[in-house]
Amino acid sequence: MNQSFETQVRIAIRALSDVIAPALAGADKHVVEQLQLTIATLGFVADRIPEATRFARLELSSCLALAERARAIVQPSLPAESEALAAGISVGEEVLALCVRDAADCEAASRHLREQLAALVATTHGSPCERDVTAAILDGSEAMLAQARLWALPFGFELTPEALPVPAW
């Protein structure tokens, strides 16, 4: 058995395309459409497997930069929240340094930082630093969103894919 996940997925795609699809020639339209969607999704997965860890590292790096920026804003006025964010940043930095092994670690650390940032936005509501925190998060999220849109580009939902930046992963 081939140990490459990418190769295994491509073998499954070929079996679905070359064996299963012709056998479903007279099947209901929705059955054939579901098979085509499955083949397309597996193609997306196969294309992204080699890049998954790099993308997860990029996303975690972006979350870390955003969290550092937000922490600098709230540090003087919200020391407890600043310290909590510092702890999340520390974990994220450790994961980033070690995450050559598993993209799931980067994804979990990114999710944790996002949750901390969301909590920080709620905490700063009505405070003197609310505007700066919100602006920092919106500003920092723009590049992250563009990379996420690039990641999903093969699904074909982008109206103007040429307007997106080049992949940073």
Q: What distance in Å separates the CA atoms of residue 145 and residue 162, rounded to the nearest whole number?
A: 15
Report yes or no: 134 and 121 within 8 Å, Cβ to Cβ.
yes
User: What is the per-residue burial (b if ≥16 Cβ within 10 Å, else e) of 116-142?
Assistant: bbeebeebbeeeebeebbeebbeebbe
The DSSP code sequence of 82-130 is: HHHHHHHHHHHHHHHHHTTS-HHHHHHHHHHHHHHHHHHHHHHTTSTTH
Total-model pTM: 0.67
Tell me the pLDDT tens digit for each residue of 134-145.
999 999 999 999
Residue 1 has a pLDDT of 45
Cβ atoms < 10 Å from Cβ of 156: 8
Q: Is 80 part of any domain?
A: yes
Q: Is 157 part of any domain?
A: yes
Structural domain of residue 114, as residue ranges? 51-163
Q: Is 27 part of any domain?
A: no
Q: Is 36 part of any domain?
A: no
Q: How many alpha carbons lie under 13 Å from residue 163 in its C-beta half-sphere?
A: 4
Q: Is 169 part of any domain?
A: no
For the chain, the domain total comes to 1
Report yes or no: 48 and 55 within 8 Å, Cβ to Cβ.
yes
Report yes or no: 107 and 56 within 8 Å, Cβ to Cβ.
yes
Q: Is 23 part of any domain?
A: no
Tell me the pLDDT tens digit for each residue of 20-62.
999 998 899 999 999 999 999 999 998 888 788 889 899 999 9
Q: Is 63 part of any domain?
A: yes
Q: Is 143 part of any domain?
A: yes
